[in-house]
Structure 1
Amino acid sequence: MSPSDCIHIVEPGGRGGVYQHVLGSVQKEKYGEFSRVVIHTARDAEITPDLPRAEYCSCMRWQRSGPRTWRTLLTLAWSLAYLLPHLILASRRSRIEVQGQFGGGLFALIILGAKATRTPVTFAPHNSFARDGSRLSHGALNMAIETADTLRLYNSRDFPFIPANRIVRDELSMYIPECSVSDTLFWEEKIRKKDRLVIGFVGQLRKDKNPALLAAAVRMSGVAATLVYAGEDKGAVEDLSNVELGSNQDMVVIEEYLSLPKLVALVRLVDVIVCPYSVSSQSGVAALARELDKPVIASDVGGLGEQAEMVFEISSEPEQELAKAIATFAVRSGERRNA
């Protein structure tokens, strides 16, 4: 077997949407032309399923406990002293694909290192912007885009200035694991459907994802509904504590990182997933919902509209627009149940 028969996929996070997408892509044979698919990821990856031709290289070590400065320094030291040279050496005379933007500008350094050794490199940025908004991250993103041989993109709106011969168009594919009975029971005990529409807001609870906007829109819609917020709190849960819902509405908030099986169990239980984001290129949660045949309502930003059954405008009166979408969905959902 020659080195060219191998592709090295770099997703060092080991958890969350980008990693789950990598697993889904391998599961669906998106890399079928390669005899070996080496997934470089974290030592504490959330799941490492047995996939066709896939191998796991647990080469990233995150310092996930302790003071923030200490965590940052130790993680950076590991990345520069071990991860970066390891990836450059391991992928020589093969092909490397960098998935997502991680570690500040680390993803860009990996791409630069690969190019320095004449290794063909593909970059899948997943977002057309730097999430933290810093100049360093923005500069790293631009550098990675300019340096990579090809870009793997998941919607038609990202990077319209990139020549077509540098773009590989793809769809977000999410890995779907088996759910245990306990995962299903966990949600059934938390959520009593009560003949109400169950609306899911799943993933990191961040202000730019507008969780409070969803609650305000549900109240405005008047639809009998249970709102389910589930994910790590990134500063938005406090906004939810001041939300008032109607008498025929209630809210369930689960502040924790969800394992992939537990996430799948939740998506299967809800009636609809809502993504009312202010900024986004696409959503792994929306992709997961579509894999599980669950409808999605999303704002009209980035490529979210390409993943949703219903889209609302977020630039003008977003609460009212989303309320209309929820009310329309509730009517259609009722009609389907009664058909």
Structure 2
Amino acid sequence: MSQPPISPRRPLTLRDVSEASGVSEMTVSRVLRNRGDVSDTTREKVLEASKRLGYVPNKIAGALASQRVNLVAVIIPSLSNLVFPEVLGGISAGLEETGLQPVVGVTNYSPEKEEAVLYEMLSWRPSGVIVAGLEHTDAARAMMENAGVPIVEIMDVDGQGVDSVIGISHRRAGLHMAEAIIAAGYRKIGFLGTKMPDDHRARKRFEGFKEGLSLAGLELADTEFYHGGSALLKGREMTEAILKRNPDIDFLYYSNDMIGAGGLLWCLENGIDIPGRLGLAGFNGVELLDGLPRRLATMDACRRQIGLRAADIISGKAQDGQIGGALIELEPVLELGDTVRKI
């Protein structure tokens, strides 16, 4: 005998919590919205009943009146890149106890995907937007300019922001890395990185790096680029390829730590003297480097601090009280590790 179809349970209402706690619906509403003068005893009764029943307030109903939901749109290029989880951790920590919750969208470094994600997120009327980078389509920029909420562009300060901007100068980061490499006595330098038509921050570091070499009368000896696949494996493959093609290179600068870690492991396995015969450096300062046989030279890009500061602006907790129009440039920390000769 077949069972009759199970009817979907009706959603719980304020009346259910009111009946379970023995107080009025208006009082339940005041408690759950943390508004109004309610005694501690009454508040505890309402919260206990709400928790026991599994009641979740309907935030959309409140949003219809305020035209805002307590969500913060966070738009990033990638979740597989180790850089962005630390940024998200900073944002999440910064929004704690503010009543705001981050909602994440991923663009895969596509301007068109960013535009589509932004459109969908703004249609829910979030309380603010945090977006990685300064380069957007005209339509995406127009949407942000007219959103009527705080907009924080993060990770980069080399360009014109829509509202508030928090990050580092990637051009200066690349230039300072070139200066450190040259000061350590290296002269025949190669660059290895991702193909970067849409990774604007990597492109700016590359431009700054070449500028630093040019100021010292040097040019890149060789380059090697990749697209997709495991960054660690690609780092090994690229390092082998560039050194076979150009064995006289005495330094390799990688656009990120993951391919740099792969390159370091390949060099050590092949008996190359690091940093005497060959120096290496990456970028980002990810925790992965702590587990390598030698500490790869890198730059800490202030990722968690960027996330925290962005959250403070969105929530109104910024130290200067500024909600919009902030420009905060952080300084990345150069860590020479074990793969650059000591001066």
**Could you say which TM-score interval applies, normalised by the shorter chain?**
0.3 to 0.5
Report the TM-score when normalising by structure 1: 0.36
Larger Cα Rg: Structure 1 or Structure 2? 2
Q: TM-score, normalised by structure 2?
A: 0.36
